[in-house]
Structure 1
């Protein structure tokens, strides 16, 4: 696969916006199916998370393998810039097999969070239909990542993957069709949206990673997933890094990708 320079792709797509996905489990499930990853085949489903206390997490139908979080950028962006310097973030494990891409297209954060969730979940990778948009993108992104060399190869691979997604017509169509089918009216295509999605996944090193395609510093390692319970570890991070920071201004929405049976 011959890749365009990521900086050129970023410039090309700087003023292009996709329709944002609604924070709705049905919309994310529809996107997965349209992209060629029918979750029901592997007993997975996207579910609403009604809160981060233990009794509310127990309402999930099964263990979570990943989740996506929606937050208000106006409230949290300044705080997030200081997180790595705080010492609370651990270094990313060298050589970890973590699928991560950068975001170049406006309002594509929900799509990227869904992609991050699915492509870091082995069951989803196994469920992908050959020659479907998600499988084709995954293969292409893996291919360009394997070709990268040097000390900054992880950064280059993330940029190359983001450039591929920006040009992925099949994923774009799946995302647009799913966004148009949400319960709330989709904003104008060029609208600037003040909310942003990130994904939380478990790496193959056993640590909880926050994946945000906008962050210049790449994946955020929040430390070991405790007792094998991803959502409890996510809840700790959300309470400390979001709820405690925003207080009464905290507006969050969370969807978990759960095993269902």
Structure 2
């Protein structure tokens, strides 16, 4: 993730989600150290940041998307249809039952060991926030702008990667304005 490779993206990125291999000992020890440091030093978090803790297992992807959407409503346009017009003509009860069956067929069980973790990065009021539902609060990573958000987020992602240099399974998803 160097500056030159990021420049190939000619659009404004509004959300970054990193998906990482959650090596428990590495992640948990860093998380605890970071929490203690922030509690001791303090940080100023905007009241406009929406943050929720993850209270159930295997929900970090959902929590990451909620963080991403809730903190970017000014950039997102929600249409009048909950579903695309093509499926609005189907029987609502049958559609809901089909969706439920599909979700349940692919959802991991609550006790299934999942070692991936999703973390959202957003720009709220010119500050780069890390929103990780397993942490007790948002993490402020400094100032950012619409133009530097991607590069600033990439720098934070590099730090995640540096903490576990033997791990190669990192994925970064960027969502942009249409």
TM-score tier, shorter chain, comes to 0.7 to 0.9
1:46-61 equivalence runs, <5 A: 52-61=1-10
Q: Which structure 2 residue ranges, 5 or more long, are not aligned?
A: 84-97
- Following the alignment from structure 1 to structure 2, what is the Cα–Cα distance between the partners of residues 237 and 175? 37
Q: Distance in 2 between matches of 1:100 and 1:208?
A: 14
1:232 alignment partner in structure 2: 151
Contact 1:103 1:213 in 2 (8 A): yes
More helix by share: 1
Structure 1 position 211 matched with structure 2 position 160: no
1:228 counterpart SS class: coil
Please say if residues 90 and 222 of structure 1, whose CA atoms lie closer than 8 Å, have aligned partners that are also in contact.
no
Local SS of the residue matching 2:14: strand
Which one of the candidate residues 119, 122, 128 is aligned to 2:78? Answer: 128
The corresponding residue for 1:164 is: none
Gaps of 5+ in 1: 1-51, 134-172, 181-185
Counterpart Cα distance in 2 of 1:235 and 1:174: 35
Tell whether 2:25 aligns with 1:62. Answer: no
Is the 8 Å Cα contact of residues 117 and 200 (structure 1) preserved in structure 2? yes
Q: Which residue of 2 aligns with 1:91?
A: 43
Give me the TM-score of the superposition, normalised by structure 1: 0.52
Q: Which residue of 1 aligns with 2:175?
A: 257
- TM-score scaled by length of structure 2: 0.74
| Equivalences for residues 101-116 of structure 1 within 5 A | 101-116=52-67
- Are the aligned partners of 1:92 and 1:219 in contact in 2 as well (CA < 8 Å)? no
What is the count of residue pairs matched by the alignment? Answer: 158
Structure-2 residue corresponding to 1:201? 122
CA distance in 2, matches of 1:113, 1:101: 10
Q: For the structure 1 residues 128 and 232, does the alpha-carbon distance in structure 2 shift closer, same or farther, using more than 3 Å as the test? A: same
C-alpha separation between the residues in 2 aligned to 1:175 and 1:82?
40
- Cα distance in 1 between the residues matched to 2:103 and 2:5: 28
1:233 to 1:250, Cα distance in 2 relative to 1, 3 A: same
1:138 maps to which residue? none
Shift of 1:61: 4.9
Contact 2:131 2:138 in 1 (8 A): yes
**CA distance in 2: counterparts of 1:178 and 1:59, whole angstroms:** 35
- Trace 1:30-45 onto structure 2 (pairs within 5 A): none
**Distance apart, 1:208 and its partner CA:** 0.3
Residues 138-157 of structure 1: per-residue CA shift (max 9 Å, x gap): xxxxxxxxxxxxxxxxxxxx
Aligned equivalent of 1:117: 68
Runs of 4+ residues over 6 Å off in structure 1: 173-176
Asked if 1:245 is matched to 2:163, the reply is yes
Offset of residue 132 of structure 1? 4.8
